[in-house]
A = this chain, B = another copy of it.
Amino acid sequence: MDFERIKPRLDALVKSGKKAELRGALNMLNEVDIADYLETLDNEQVLMVFRLLPKDVSADVFSYMDNDQRTRVMEALGDAEAMRIIDDMFIDDAVDFLEELPAGVVKRMLSNADPKRRDLINQFLHYPENSAGRIMTIEYMEFHTGTTVGQAMMEIRRTAPDKETINTLYIIDDRRELLGTVALRKLLLAPDDRRVEDLMNNQIISVHTTDDQELVADTVRKYDLLSIPVVDHENRLVGIVTVDDIVDVIEEENTEDFEKMAAMLPSDDEYLKTGVFKLARNRLPWLLILMVSATFTGMIITNFENVLTNAAEIGVALVACIPMLMDTGGNCGSQASTLAIRGLALGEIELKDIGRILWKEFRVALICGSVLAVANFFRVWFLTPYDQNVAFVVSLAMFFTVIIAKAIGCTLPLLAKAIHLDPALMASPIITTLVDAASLTILFTVATNFFHIALG
């Protein structure tokens, strides 16, 4: 990209402090690239570059920085100058920044703001975390019924530069209730004296201020929207959410699912910017829970102690196969659970499909289990020192393990959904723990029966 080529020149200009030339060079850069570039500079340089930017550009650049950077710039600028930048940001970006700051700092910052804007920001900050109200913005175009196309176009020309989007215009009644939308292209084609409500699409697709951002994202994705109106409990239009923020929400929600599925507490922070203690704190709870629950697997082995001690040769052979059996079971289980979790997240499967899913997984398990069992029989026979009897016992145990693992794997996420837990929590680690217990029980049961080893 252009940016990599320009960077050395920027560095030289920053070092030499040639402000006029630097301003010219910055002018050729996209706001996102400027924000990236500022990350590479020290505090003093950041301030110098930041102050060279035109006012509207600096607010944009600020909204593309990450929170550490923003706090750094904010502190260096001082409250008054900082607030002027926040005033120039779109409301959603301002809220996104302020919600990460300590309450005291927010209060101090907002004391410098215009009272009307302060009230608005405070109101937005009071919506639940990750709700539509938190990510919406107010920079949209709305028109009351009765407005003519000519009047609307004049208003758009007057205020367009301050709006986040003008593609969709929102039509409201006297009570601010949302009646419908008009696409800008429809307005462009209509005669000046037409009324906006005559052009209106009244199939309203909207969300509520308290709806979770995941629902907002799902709706935007389903209907291919560029923005979605947000209404309050009385159906009054209070904001919109734009698709660029939805793209971020989607990646955020996916990251959360990845983290939960790997037995971590979800976190919004970038990996390299998260402290070691915080990372450890996010990882330990599930590690501890899963470790303690593994006591159960140990108990199963202790129970079958006699298989190991009375039949030493066979015992070692069985023990040697435990890791393979457990891992294969775990893998089979997490394959099924991943598809179930993903299907639920994308709305492709629902709770009521549980019967169909179990039946499908059962047939898949029959195929996978048979193939694996046969392959395992030859693996044990040819690649290990053990005989066909051991190979047969382990393969039979494998077959049943696969079937149980697939059943557990696909059922658990659906059960979680049924009791309103996040399906992603029921992923591989929990399934592995359950499948371990199942596979060991199966192995020892098959072995004791086949080799007629007495228990206890």
Contact = CB atoms under 8 A, between A and B. Distances in A.
A279 to B, nearest CB: 5
Contacts of A29: 203
Given A271-B348, A338-B262, A375-B291, A298 B284 contact: no
A309 B317 CA distance: 12
Interface residues of A, number: 116
A323 interface: yes
A281 to B, nearest CB: 9
Contacts of A56: none
A189 B161 contact: yes
Given A184-B184, A338-B258, A271 B343 contact: yes
A321 B338 contact: no
A340 B163 CA distance: 38
A331 interface: yes
Contact of A343 (B167, B254, B272, B320): B272
A389 to B, nearest CB: 16
Given A271-B339, A276-B364, A327-B294, A222 B376 contact: no
Contacts of A368: 280, 283-284, 287
Contacts of A209: none
Contacts of A261: 258, 338
Nearest to A312: B309
B343 A316 contact: no
Interface string A290-302: 1110110111011
A372 B327 CA distance: 22
Given A160-B189, A284-B371, 7 more contacts: A276-B360, A280-B367, A297-B323, A298-B323, A319-B319, A327-B432, A428-B428
* Nearest 5 A/B pairs, CB to CB: A294-B324, A262-B338, A224-B244, A280-B367, A298-B320
11 contacts: A163-B185, A221-B248, A288-B371, A290-B328, A291-B328, A292-B375, A292-B379, A294-B328, A308-B319, A326-B327, A331-B429
Interface of A: 2, 28-30, 32, 153, 156-157, 160-161, 163, 166-167, 184-185, 188-189, 203, 205, 220-226, 243-244, 246-248, 250-251, 254-255, 257-259, 261-264, 270-272, 276-277, 279-280, 283-284, 286-288, 290-292, 294-295, 297-299, 301-302, 305, 308-309, 312, 315-316, 319-324, 326-328, 330-332, 334-335, 337-343, 346, 348-349, 353, 356-357, 360, 363-364, 367-368, 371-372, 375-376, 379, 383-385, 428-429, 432-433, 436, 440
